Chains A and B, each alone.
Chain A
Amino acid sequence: MIPGAFAYHRPKTVKDAVAMLSELGPDARPLAGGHSLIPMMKLRLSSPAHLVDLRAIGELKGIRAEGAEVVIGAMTTQHDVIADSMLAARLPILRETALVIADPQVRYVGTIGGNVANGDPGNDMPAVMLCLGAVYQVAGRKGERRIAARKFYEGAYMTALEPGEMVTAIRIPVPPSGHGAAYEKLKRKVGDYATAAAAVVLTMSGGRAATCSIGLTNLAETPLWAEEAAKAVVGTTIDAAAVKKAAAAAEAIASPASDNRGPAEYRKKMAGVMVARALARAKTRAG
């Protein structure tokens, strides 16, 4: 639990941070809240020679509405996400998700940018971002670009970020008012990553699901966007049969590892159970 040696840098602007990351090369890593990176360093699973601390960069913080989108700065803490009243009203699923991440101490420091950029399939926010169709704003040596969350995750700890690039903000299209959403997470205890978790955002019209999107956490090498599962409920009243189909579709794409949370077979089944429960809750919330 003793990390290796590293150099510490603290840029004040995104420009400087990007320049440092490009210059220092693959041995440099951005440091956000440090609550994923530092444990990895203490276990010596990761030994970056340089840490580029993003905490002094004011432009990376904050939550604002931009037309039909909400934009959240990468360095916004998970606690800030929970405390924001605009988010609570327009994107309640973010608050619900943040509340089941880790514990209050971690959430005061851990950031939403770190959570989505980390690439750990156990992180909760990525599946929610897939579900919502979020887009990550990225800065690099060559300038800015946007990457859809649904295209971002390539493997465990592997993302679409190029060397030297960093996430600066998350842009989320706000679902229509009256949408129903839920994040259902099965875990062993507070502070645990999901055995299985499902994010659901849906709209109802005339008692039937008009739209539906489903994301899954910790059930594969990457977060999953469960398109087939969502399709299974669109046009239905989200009755038992439809829910069963959706759950089966989620189980079909889940390929979790066997771990101390349980054998793969169990975790796959939990994917279905979490989808069913999230659907039920989202439906009751839709108005």
Chain B
Amino acid sequence: MNDVTPSSAERAEKLQGMGCKRKRVEDIRFVQGKGSYVDDLKLPGMLHGDLVRSPYGHARVRKIDAAKAKALPGVVAVLTAADLKPLNLHYMPTLAGDVQAVLAEEKVLYQNQEVAFVIATDRYVAADAAELVEVEYEELPALVDPFKAMAPGAPVLREDIKDKTDGAHGKRKHYNHIFAWQIGEKEATDQAFRKAEVTVKELISYQRVHPCPLETCQCVASFDKIKGELTVWGTFQAPHVIRTVASLISKIPEHKIHVIAPDIGGGFGNKVGAYPGYICAVVASIVTGRPVKWVEDRIENLSATSFARDYHMTTEIAATKDGRVTGLRVHVLADHGAFDACADPSKWPAGFFNIVTGSYDFPVAHVAVDGVYTNKAPGGVAYRCSFRVTEAAYCIERAMDILAQKLGLDPAELRLRNLIRREQFPYQSALGWEYDSGDYHAALKKAMDAVDYRALRAEQKARQEAFKRGETRELMGIGVSFFTEIVGAGPSRNCDILGIAMFDSAEIRIHPTGAVTARMGTKSQGQGHETTYAQIIASELGLPADDITVEEGNTDTAPYGLGTYGSRSTPTAGAATAMAARKIKAKAQMIAADLLEVSEYDLEWDVDRFRVKGNPERFKTMKELAWAAYNRVPKGLEPGLEAVNYYDPPNMTYPFGAYICVLDVDVDTGVCKVRRFYALDDCGTRINPMIIEGQIHGGLTEAFAIAMGQEIRYDEIGNCTNPSFMDYFLPTAVETPKWETDWTTTPSPHHPIGAKGVGESPNVGGVPCFANAVNDAFKFLGSTHIAMPHNHWRTWTVADKLGLHG
């Protein structure tokens, strides 16, 4: 080889492929304010919609009088349920097999429920007109406590289905009951508890929170009467699913519906489903023949679109005296609000909550879940986690700490005794999952060494003594969490959405010059897909990442996919990308063989080229092969160089991690100050370490927010008391702790590039870590479980009840 030819390593580095800390290409437009969001869209003749919403948590709608609103200059129309009913659009199907009112017909079931849709030529006029719509309500008793939902004599919430004895998942037990779901071996589990040397039991509640993306939910609908085609631009995490659902309910043929998700300002699960505002905008556009924009404000977003959690988990662990877990039993009361609008794969009404055995080797377990209706906003989405996985992780990680306390064991030590061992992978969990790979002990030990865990415990002990002597008013808490995520939904054998298997897709087109356009069925909302998918292709095909454009979000051009949530993009579309690239590479190899006049088997791949084995100076680069594909293909081969792959993963992937938090609690004010947070993540193969770090930082910040302050609160008559940034805790840079990140790498054995997905791990592992730290601070005084969120007054109240205020 002559010495001006760059080495393989040099050439590989230039590609900016996998493993490279490539800067996010999307940031070039975002940091210049040149992103293009739904609300940036201004179409000629566009109208604006605004929703009239219920001030009551539960009321009968007696009368709607829109005369005054319609009389306001600029108002084009006012839609109510009466207008939608003839079209059979006053209710819409939810992803969970329920229906949700688009505009309230006879009753409103939660505060800020949609009652009427005003359409005007101007956004301001629309808001003025919404105030002029007169709605007569008869207030009804509101049901806000899920524990009272199934009481005899509880208010009947869903009159529309009160006689339905069967729900989407079997018999209903009560008119406010949605579903019962169970998994695991009940008898064997009960038996383990009967035989147990030690048991613990605690009601562990995970409060109602909201994903709260900075950009609220919004859309522009434009119906072309002449072509009979509908275009909807919207904040959609799953554009193709929206298109299919829109076609099924509107009867407009699917090919005549164009769904476009432009740049999205965060989703976190909030933008998976469909909302009444979308349906109203579509109907309004069909009725008026003009484009109609609907944009939520913050209060609407927080109080009416999908919430997350609201899971009340009665948790029991059976164990031996020396701290080996022998059984887990959990009953969940799930508050789904007024309609079951959970966004789970259709067969999984409690999502993947059965990951609740966590990272531990439980021989048996049993989980039962009851979903109930209350007078609260519908939802139950996965807020930056895979379906119900943060709930599960919080549940098991809190319960393990409670068990450690009862046994007098250090919480890290209890975990080390029970973590699934490396040689047990692939591991069959008691609740039915097959964990793909892991080295849990190595991860936890690395984390403990990194923070000098023993020294921290010694410092804590000294602090407790000083506190008892009255020398300090601060307590120190150390939180440990070890989590296992389950992401990448998913295998079509057990995951579908409304019957559509949860595969995902990639289409790669290599152009004659070697430039690439690639499209996926997923949709980035900040995850950086344009950067990372290009890196996969760069490594697979030896073309520079900078020459690859990644496009998502347009159903006309992107191959069908199920969208981005549940950390599924890398496990599914990322895999599809690698597989499509490999098809291209196989064809390129045939072309190379022809050009080099050797057999394909005499070629070997070297970073960006095929070379003749034993004769490295004879090669064809991928760029050359791209040209040849359009110029001179071997006989019998089609010209062109492109491929599509629909990837149905054989299994989920199971990222994991070990987190440690150190905080100080001011017992006089209840203020908790996070001193240190160390996060070790194992997401398998690391595509872009910088993006991973960014995802971890963001996810930990959300976990911090949830654990320390986020909560959607209702008063007893169903008023949502905190739907604004004044009260809904979104930490700023000032409150946010400094994050220390670390990693181990255990590739997924079944994923083409060994990657597992990482975007949501920090939320899953972070929430219990903070909570465990706060609990840990108080446990030497006898406290066992403190409910989240750990805001100032709750923490102060704990201290007060423990008699710490003299």
Contact = CB atoms under 8 A, between A and B. Distances in A.
B459 interface: no
A4 B298 CA distance: 18
Given A2-B127, A103-B732, A186 B671 contact: yes
A64 interface: no
Contacts of A263: 793
Contact of A44 (B131, B669, B735, B796): B131
Given A1-B297, A2-B124, A273-B668, A189 B729 contact: yes
Nearest to B216: A1
A192 B726 contact: yes
B31 interface: no
A261 interface: yes
Interface in B773-806: 791-793, 796-797, 805
Contacts of A270: 669
Interface in B689-727: 709, 713, 721-722, 726-727
Contacts of B797: 266
Nearest to A261: B793
What does DSSP make chain A's interface, helix, strand, loop or mixed?
loop
Contacts of A261: 792-793
Q: Which of B722, B792, B796 gathers most chain A CB within 10 Å?
A: B792
Nearest to A187: B792
Contacts, number: 61
Most buried by A among B126, B298, B670, B797: B670
B668 A1 contact: no
Interface in A187-236: 188-193, 195
A253 to B, nearest CB: 20
B35 interface: no
Most chain-B Cβ atoms within 10 A of its Cβ — which of A4, A44, A189, A263? A189
A259 B724 CA distance: 13
A273 B796 CA distance: 12
A4 B122 CA distance: 13
Interface in A246-268: 259-263, 266-267
A7 interface: no
Contacts of B730: 189
B731 A189 contact: yes
A266 B791 CA distance: 12
Contacts of A89: none
Nearest to A244: B806
A190 B792 contact: no
B793 A262 contact: yes
By size class, the interface of chain B is: 20 to 34
Nearest to B796: A266
Interface in B112-139: 123-124, 126-128, 131
Listed residue (A3, A5, A266) with the most chain B CB atoms within 10 angstroms of its CB: A266
Contact of B792 (A103, A188, A259): A188
Contacts of A44: 131
A270 B131 CA distance: 40
Interface string B646-676: 0000000000000000000000111100000
Interface string A1-21: 111110000000000000000
Contacts of B127: 2, 4
B734 interface: yes
A273 B793 CA distance: 13
B299 interface: yes
Most buried by B among A2, A190, A195, A261: A2
Nearest to B131: A44
B171 to A, nearest CB: 39
A190 B734 contact: yes
Contact of B734 (A5, A186, A189, A195): A189
Contact of B793 (A5, A189, A266): A266
B724 to A, nearest CB: 9
A21 to B, nearest CB: 25
A269 B804 CA distance: 13
A259 B793 CA distance: 11
Nearest to B127: A2
B732 A191 contact: yes
Interface string A80-117: 00000000000000000000000100000000000000
Contacts of B791: 188, 262
Contacts of A2: 50, 123-124, 126-127, 297
B732 A190 contact: yes
Contact of B713 (A1, A3, A260, A269): A260
A178 B734 CA distance: 32
A192 B727 CA distance: 8
A189 B796 contact: no
B557 to A, nearest CB: 34
Contacts of A273: 668-669
A260 B727 contact: yes
Contacts of A193: 726
A190 B735 contact: yes
A102 B127 CA distance: 28
Contacts of B713: 260
A189 B732 contact: yes
B721 A260 contact: yes
Contacts of A192: 726
A193 B127 CA distance: 28
A260 B796 contact: no
Contacts of A186: 669, 671, 792
A267 B671 CA distance: 13
19 contacts: A2-B50, A2-B126, A2-B127, A3-B124, A4-B127, A4-B128, A186-B792, A188-B709, A189-B729, A189-B731, A193-B726, A259-B727, A260-B722, A260-B727, A261-B793, A266-B670, A266-B793, A270-B669, A273-B669
Given A191-B732, A270-B669, 8 more contacts: A2-B123, A4-B128, A44-B131, A188-B709, A260-B722, A262-B793, A262-B796, A266-B670
Interface of A: 1-5, 44, 103, 186, 188-193, 195, 259-263, 266-267, 269-270, 273
3 tightest A-B CB contacts, nearest first = A262-B793, A2-B127, A1-B297
